[in-house]
Chains A and B, each alone.
Chain A
């Protein structure tokens, strides 16, 4: 049987990148929460914030380790499976990847050691500095990798040159490459997506503790911090998403048409599908609800300028529609839900009823799955929407694979990665669960705690309960 190397390599890339991307957004988002918590500790001197910082750091460490382990694969997979791509883009893409290593990974991994193992070896200020540096490192890392990825969508700052008998892209303007039309839009969107996940993750575990009546003071304070982060980031994501969609309409009209299930260009304003299922054969969306004229308005802020449909794109350059459409709509639906959920929780917090509304806390325990799915769905939408190109307009995906790798070896590695990642994911769940069951190490009752920054929001009366809870576990 002839094995399809392009398909196998795409499957392997999708598997390894999607698995990897379970971890970095949490590192970024949780990192921000930890900087806030430890900052509060440094400022107020309250032991409870130290307990928070220590607990979330333990979770962070496990997540980070799996992220690093799965990330190393990505650094080398361009060469192993996509060597034609590597030859074509090395001049542009490689430098962003190398910059990521030098500016981000060393910073992250160096200070991670101090963050995780350095509690008793360095002072409080130095430790806070290390936490901040790890957070900065994870952000820098996303900056460079997003720039590299964005260049694949909206290449800029390069020329095509013949080198050793084949064409390749070479940088002529570094800053034009860095600030290519989609990079800053995408970066903002990716970071806010990570902050939403970080906030929801903190809220999920905190809500669980509150429901179990364990570590209540700790959990309520953590919940509020997570809620503030997630609320701001959710609204920010709405703005960022709108700007990004307009950018896609400008730079990659074929992708936008696939996102929106928009085949036929008309002079009438185009409607926006709220949901539905695209039928590629019939070139229409079924089982859906459409708001008339909204797509035209959102893209152009008027009702006159037509939005080009897929009929404007030559057949061989059209992306598939089902996967981009569905994942794009899942992302947007979830994004809207995050705004609604965080607004409801914020309102109940203000009315001092949040921590008594048990059904909502249960929702928050599981709501963390939402940002995970949304982050993945957004990437699936944008990457599949770029097809059939690996570098938009320059290099087709089918021409980018390694020429000399036998199909059996790709199949073999795909199977190995699948097994290894499945086991790894199970372990990650198991260890995080253990850490959550073990819970934070709470400080002795400290009279200074009464003046806590968030005490007003939470109310001091639950303090007694949390202490007894700690004794029970011990």
Chain B
């Protein structure tokens, strides 16, 4: 396995980590308005209170790693997707601010405003991420210099929009299961009612997007010829999807959460597999940006590998400590939001 491939895999790991972890707190944001009482909304927000910030670090590190390992792809994607990226950045600011400021004033109007803002920013961030991912899977027009040669409106094509919808439904499902784990009593009973709805939307969109992908983007399965073992991931993914309602039915939400995490991981894997060996697939006659043509020097990839080797165990340790400290049902303490 060469260093370029190692970094492609490591980026995949960072993306998976981000999608699984920030996925549930984005999902909680998408569902937030469905609870009505202030006390319950506070419980919902505080279930992700200590965790969302650390979850976003996965995105920041993904950005840094993409910059360092594949600067050509980082440059093309971010400048090509300029406006969607700005919307995501403002959305991420909006989320942080809504969470932080909502609790500081007790008037209902103030809180309604920040609740709406929290929902809207969470929804937008999730949706735009999905749209961006959809475009990456499809490929985009590149010019001779490897720069994005399309327009803003070309990014809003049906396939990409449907991936955006799938992202929102997936996050809502993942977030609902997470909330089910963290809440109790009456609130938990209502959260339980959301899971089948979110699951239904996710499953329908998952089938729809898969069909659309296979129909309109036949190149997506090319790599399966070289790596037939990847069909196992497809099969496991289907099983994991099916396991979610089963685990909920059996009253084992932890199991359901693991399943939905596996679904997100598998979908990330399949998306990475679909574009390999490209990072930005060109739909024009000009060359794609591959993990070789877009990469930094071998010396940098090796150096970054050492950094990752030292850093990743530390990251795993901190993450484990924090999730351990904040295990169990959410309670409103003195320092709660």
Binding site for B on A (CB under 8 A): 58, 61-62, 65-66, 68-73, 75-76, 78-81, 83-84, 86-87, 89-95, 97-103, 105-107, 109-114, 116-122, 161, 164-166, 168, 170-172, 174, 402-405, 409-410, 412-413, 416-417, 420, 424, 427, 430-431, 434
21 contacts between A and B (CB under 8 A): A68-B56, A70-B93, A79-B67, A79-B75, A84-B75, A87-B75, A91-B300, A94-B71, A95-B303, A98-B67, A101-B65, A102-B307, A107-B314, A109-B54, A109-B57, A113-B51, A117-B326, A164-B293, A170-B299, A171-B303, A413-B83
Q: Which of B141-149, B164-172, B244-252, B275-283 contacts A (4 or more CB under 8 A)?
A: B141-149
Return A429 CB to nearest CB of chain B, in Å: 12
Assembled-state Cα–Cα distance A111/B69 (Å): 28
Assembled-state Cα–Cα distance A86/B73 (Å): 10
Q: How large is the interface on B (under 10, 10 to 19, 20 to 34, 35 or more residues)?
A: 35 or more
User: What string of 1s and 0s marks CB contacts (under 8 Å) between B96-126 and chain A?
Assistant: 1101110011000000000000000000000
* Contacts known (A101-B57, A106-B318, A402-B79); A93 close to B67, Cβ less than 8 A: yes
Assembled-state Cα–Cα distance A202/B303 (Å): 41
Assembled-state Cα–Cα distance A133/B80 (Å): 38
Beta-carbon contact of B74 and A94 below 8 Å: yes
Assembled-state Cα–Cα distance A155/B97 (Å): 37
Beta-carbon contact of A79 and B325 below 8 Å: no
Return B303 CB to nearest CB of chain A, in Å: 6
Query: Which of A72, A110, A111 is close to B92, meaning CB atoms less than 8 Å apart?
Result: A72
Q: Please, which residue of chain B has its CB at the minimum distance from the CB of A84?
A: B75
Beta-carbon contact of B86 and A90 below 8 Å: no
Contacts of B189-207 to chain A: CB distance below 8 A: none
Chain A residues in 8 Å Cβ range of B59: 72
Q: Does B61 contact A (CB under 8 A)?
A: yes
Q: Does B76 contact A (CB under 8 A)?
A: yes
Beta-carbon contact of A68 and B54 below 8 Å: no
Beta-carbon contact of A113 and B54 below 8 Å: yes
Beta-carbon contact of B61 and A409 below 8 Å: no
Assembled-state Cα–Cα distance A164/B146 (Å): 9
Q: Does B6 contact A (CB under 8 A)?
A: no
Chain B residues in 8 Å Cβ range of A71: 60
Beta-carbon contact of A72 and B54 below 8 Å: no
Q: Please, which residue of chain A has its CB at the minimum distance from the CB of B303?
A: A174
Q: Does B217 contact A (CB under 8 A)?
A: no
* Contacts known (A105-B57, A431-B104); A116 close to B50, Cβ less than 8 A: yes
Q: Please, which residue of chain B has its CB at the minimum distance from the CB of A421?
A: B93
Beta-carbon contact of A170 and B322 below 8 Å: no
Beta-carbon contact of B311 and A113 below 8 Å: no
Beta-carbon contact of B72 and A87 below 8 Å: yes
Assembled-state Cα–Cα distance A73/B105 (Å): 27
Chain A residues in 8 Å Cβ range of B254: none
Return B265 CB to nearest CB of chain A, in Å: 20
Beta-carbon contact of A75 and B64 below 8 Å: yes
Beta-carbon contact of A72 and B64 below 8 Å: no
Assembled-state Cα–Cα distance A412/B78 (Å): 16
Beta-carbon contact of B65 and A98 below 8 Å: yes
Report which residue of A79, A95, A99 has the largest number of chain B beta carbons within 10 angstroms of its beta carbon.
A79
Chain A residues in 8 Å Cβ range of B297: 91, 161, 170-171
Q: Does B267 contact A (CB under 8 A)?
A: no
Contacts of B302-326 to chain A: CB distance below 8 A: 303-304, 307-308, 311-312, 314-315, 318-319, 321-322, 325-326
Assembled-state Cα–Cα distance A88/B149 (Å): 20
Assembled-state Cα–Cα distance A94/B307 (Å): 12
Beta-carbon contact of A69 and B334 below 8 Å: no
Chain B residues in 8 Å Cβ range of A72: 56, 59-60, 89, 92-93
Query: Which of B50, B68, B92 is close to A90, meaning CB atoms less than 8 Å apart?
Result: B68
Q: Does B208 contact A (CB under 8 A)?
A: no
Q: Does B333 contact A (CB under 8 A)?
A: yes
Chain B residues in 8 Å Cβ range of A107: 314, 318
Beta-carbon contact of A80 and B78 below 8 Å: yes
Beta-carbon contact of B299 and A94 below 8 Å: no
Query: Which of B64, B82, B145 is close to A100, meaning CB atoms less than 8 Å apart?
Result: B64
* Contacts known (A105-B61, A409-B82, A434-B104); A113 close to B67, Cβ less than 8 A: no
Report which residue of A61, A71, A102 has the largest number of chain B beta carbons within 10 angstroms of its beta carbon.
A102
Return B247 CB to nearest CB of chain A, in Å: 27
